[in-house]
Chain A
Amino acid sequence: MGARSIFLADTMLRLWWLKNNRVMAVLELAWPYTIIIVLVGLGTSYGSLENFKNSLGVTDPILYIFASSSVAFAAVGIIDNAASVAQWHRWLGTLPYIMTSPHKLSTYVIASGLSLSMLTLAMEFLVLLPGVLYFSGPEGIARMSLVLAFLLLGMLPLVAIGGIAAMASLMVREESNVMGFLNPLLLLLSGVFYPLKILPEILQLASKAVPVSYVVEAAKIAATFQEGLARDLFLVAYIIAAMILAYNIAGIAALGGFETIARRRGVTD
């Protein structure tokens, strides 16, 4: 059984779960809008969309809020999803079966985490489409599709980190993903809902090494009707592609070591 089979099996499991539990399916679909309502509601209680538009430097603030909410909950989700898959099996008592199967544990958690992340992203995208169409028209859909492509791309540099988070959480025998703080930290550094200049200089520098920052940048470009859009987006795509290579080469090397230590220590109790 390879990574592809695990990916497909986990996707089917998730889809069937949603099919058999309609309440859960409806609630999952309602979530992206809830997040948007919260941010816009909270923000406009104390200020205005005009201020938001000016401080973020975007032309279409609503489209940006739709896009950035997706970024906030999907781009970094791979880390948590991969780690939570491992924890979930430990809780259920099925981890020993996965450990003794022919493929590597890291392959399983990454494939399963990717499946969950991509499915969540696809669902969010489909659910948000009517809203984007209403506020920004057909062009908004095209721009949102661009953001989706960048979200998928931006997820890839974090794949190996997701695997490491899973192994680390199992190794320390904790109840949850001990590297869960990475999700909001990466979001904080990416300036998803605010201009990066508000952060101290050292955090602004750190944000340059965070792949999600470039996905946020792509969302900003997509929500700004400017000339040379394709050129700017390609530049962002090249940076993310370089990060996919750099992060995963380093991450996969470290992941092998983590898995060996995890197996030696025993992770199922």
Chain B
Amino acid sequence: MVSKTRIYAMVWLHLVRTSRFTLSLVNWGVIEFLWLSIYILGVLAFAPPSEYQLIIPMVFWAVAAFGLMSTPVWTIGNWMKYYVNTGVFEEHELYNVSHSLFLALRALPSIVLTLASLTVAWIFLRELTGINPMRVEDPLLLVFGLFFILVLATLYSLIIAFLSLYTEAPGPLLDFMNLLLFIIGGIAAPVERLPDPLKTIAVLTPYSHPAEIIRYASVGYRPYLGLAQEIIATIGYTLLLASLVIMVSRKAVKKAKKEGVKGIGRT
């Protein structure tokens, strides 16, 4: 069992580090906002203007979910590179500190970052299009969906981090699944709108379920499997990914202990 003191120490260290690198954090927030805007404006180039009223909130929340999915890949998955290069890996191993927990708690700066970027993107898009992109019909359900997207993303990023340790390839390069899942996994567009074979893929992948809940909570779009089933699937996938993290981390750490910790490639 991990002691409370250790968790406090880790959280405190991550927060101190975040405040120490304020400019980097602000810079990252601006980057996130700009990328969100570029993608949303890109999608609008495909869409007929008559449907903007419905499409803009749907795309906004889809891109928001993607922001929550992708930021931990950088803050956790890509961070394994620094974790190894600065010698912190060995230090934690020596003091029997959980690598997974230490890395997972880096999700905290991710939340602050993504929420700040989303707020700015919301204002920017509202001013630009005259349409409120942050339409919400059920705030509680929306928070539930966003929370589980973040939890799933943290677990996924931990898998990426340990795969990065195992393969010596940088985390963001291993992350192409995230982008593919964004399209074929029912995050970018409702599962119902996908072609038949993709519907099955989407239902079998973890992110589609909280994404369906988010769409229902924001614009009232009916979830593909039904609300209760989507909630159960979301929780089920969270447990599944958590087990995968344990498996992959054990394998990667075992390899590192056996062969020595090796440097991870530059992106």
Contacts and interface: CB of A to CB of B under 8 A. Distances in A.
Given A24-B168, A175-B24, A198-B128, A39 B42 contact: yes
B179 A45 contact: no
Contacts of B37: 188
Nearest to B87: A93
Contact of B167 (A23, A35, A42): A23
A39 B183 CA distance: 9
A28 B266 CA distance: 11
Contact of A184 (B34, B168, B193, B266): B34
Contacts of B23: 172, 174, 178
Interface stretch (B44-52, B146-154, B212-220): B44-52
B46 A43 contact: yes
The contact size tier of chain A is 35 or more
A37 B177 CA distance: 12
Interface string B148-179: 00000000000000000001111001101001
Given A24-B265, A27-B176, A46 B55 contact: yes
A174 B267 CA distance: 19
A176 interface: yes
B188 interface: yes
Q: Majority SS of interface residues in chain B?
A: helix
Counting chain B CB atoms within 10 Å of each CB, the highest count among A45, A51, A198 belongs to A45
A185 B34 contact: yes
A21 B265 contact: yes
A181 B34 CA distance: 8
Interface string A59-96: 00000000000001000000000001000100110000
A87 B103 CA distance: 21
B183 to A, nearest CB: 3
Interface in A122-176: 172, 174-176
A185 B58 CA distance: 24
Contact of B44 (A28, A183, A198): A198
Chain B interface residue number, banded: 35 or more
B5 to A, nearest CB: 26
A241 interface: no
A220 to B, nearest CB: 12
Contacts of A24: 167-170, 173, 265
Interface in B70-88: 82, 85-86
A175 B21 contact: yes
Contact of B43 (A42, A84, A183): A42
A46 B24 contact: no
Contact of A28 (B28, B86, B173, B182): B173
A199 B86 CA distance: 43
A251 interface: no
Nearest to A17: B265
Contacts of B48: 47, 51
B188 to A, nearest CB: 5
29 contacts: A24-B168, A24-B173, A34-B180, A37-B180, A38-B179, A38-B180, A38-B188, A41-B188, A42-B43, A42-B62, A42-B182, A42-B189, A43-B45, A43-B47, A45-B183, A47-B43, A51-B45, A51-B46, A51-B48, A174-B24, A176-B24, A176-B28, A178-B24, A180-B27, A181-B30, A184-B31, A188-B37, A192-B38, A198-B45
The 10 closest A-B pairs by CB, nearest first: A43-B46, A193-B42, A45-B189, A41-B183, A47-B46, A184-B34, A47-B47, A24-B169, A27-B173, A181-B30
Interface of B: 21, 23-24, 27-28, 30-31, 34-35, 37-39, 41-48, 51, 55, 58-59, 62, 82, 85-86, 127-128, 167-170, 173-174, 176, 179-180, 182-184, 188-189, 193-194, 265-267
